[in-house]
Structure 1
Amino acid sequence: MKNKFLISAITFIAILFASCGNQQAKEETASTPNTFVSKKGPKSVLIISSSPRRGGNSETLCLQLMKGAEESKHKVEMLNLNDYDIKFFAKTEYERGERNDDDDAIQIIKKMAAADVIVLSSPVYFYSMTAQMKALIDRVYNYEKDLQNKEFYYIVTCTDKEKEALDGTIMGFRGFVRCLYNGQERGIVYGNGARERGTIDEKPAMKEAYEMGKNI
């Protein structure tokens, strides 16, 4: 079973890496040397939670990371995508490169562009990220250059106790960052074995999220 899942995951990421929304961006990113330099001193941190369940396990980990980052004097903003109207990626955006600004997606992308650090958080449903998060990621099409030189952290939770159960979501995040310009993955919090609200409280992920925030 695990072997089948790993094969599927590898196939998924191979397709994803080959299908950045902006092919030119992908080619330029691949050919550009890594010149990323992490900002010194306090940073602007944007935490994006996509959990439809308020006070759920992934959101709890986001708050832990936020606590640690604020204690280290970083400026932190946390938002939940369920508070925003984010339409699906439109055919016109793909075919003619039009930018659709009649919902809240561009508002969030502007926040991402202004941040030094972006934290992407999702519970895992059927071995993938939430539809809310994927919708936002798709809408970044044509804004890749606005998200240059960002540091990324991932927070992922699921009921399954096996770490491999989170691979699909993490690979989805990595595929997104790969299509940006000089994006840097900095860390992952694995929240396995957490189903009911509050079950994450006794997991090592709580301390890991806090320490990750402290060390941004």
Structure 2
Amino acid sequence: MKKIAVLIGSARKGGNTELLTNAFVKGAQEHHEVTMIFAAKVKVNGCIGCNACYSDEKHRCIQKDDMEQIYSQLKDADAIVIATPVYFYNVSSQLKCIIDRLHNPIRDEFKVKQLFLLAVAADTNPTVFDSIKVMYQSVLHYFHLKDGGMITVPGVKDRGDIVGHKALEDAYQLGKNIE
């Protein structure tokens, strides 16, 4: 049994990102332990680049917010899932703050070996996911992580547009088949 940490970047309750993520989680929970971290429900400030975490023995950040709790949730995860709506060709700002705060050497204590990407967009432009895919591929390469898989769904603008979409079954199967 693996521990899966899911970073959900959508602030829209019951939105397309959440529905896609729920399908993945339903499959993953059949064999694994899943922790969901909703970026919109935690208070995480953006990284200020002070690098105090590099000189602190316990890699504590000088900012006092919910990131310490998130570090502890990610520390024991075998896999991390990035789930996000596309906001102007990137992950949501709430999720970006969490990702940027992983610029902390505490990440070297994480045991994560695998990364997944789930992303939705209202736009149907074929390049809408390109910058997120580049970030994802860069993280895989830099940290020598296994690519668990990615599901991207364009053209889902309004809440519930994804209902009935093949991507929901794909996400369920992706979660169910985590090795």
Q: Structure 2 residue aligned with 1:112, among 65, 68, 74? A: 74
Aligned residue in 2 for 1:18: none
Q: Structure 1: where are the runs of 5+ without partners?
A: 1-41
Q: Deviation of residue 94 (structure 1)?
A: 6.3
Relative to structure 1, the CA distance from residue 179 to residue 155 in structure 2 (aligned partners, 3 Å threshold; closer, same or farther) is same
TM-score under structure 1 length normalisation? 0.74
Q: 1:165 aligns with which of 128, 146, 155?
A: 128
Cα distance in 2 for residues equivalent to 1:148 and 1:74: 16
Q: How many residues align?
A: 173
**What does 1:1-216 align with in structure 2 at a 5 Å threshold?**
42-71=1-30, 73-93=31-51, 97-98=55-56, 99-100=60-61, 102-141=64-103, 142-180=105-143, 182-216=144-178
Aligned-pair CA distance for 1:185 = 1.5
Mapped to 1, the partners of 2:124 and 2:19 lie a distance apart of 18
TM-score by length of 2: 0.88
Encode CA deviations 1:127-184: one digit per residue, 9 max, x unaligned: 111111111111112223123442111000001224431111122233234333x322
TM superposition shift of 1:104 = 1.0
RMSD of equivalent CA atoms: 1.9
Contact in 2 for aligned 1:144/1:179 (Cα 8 Å)? no
Tell me, what secondary structure is at the counterpart of 2:116?
strand
Structure 2 unpaired stretches of 5+: none
In structure 1, C-alpha distance between the alignment counterparts of 2:4 and 2:109, rounded to whole Å = 16
SS of 1:125's equivalent?
coil
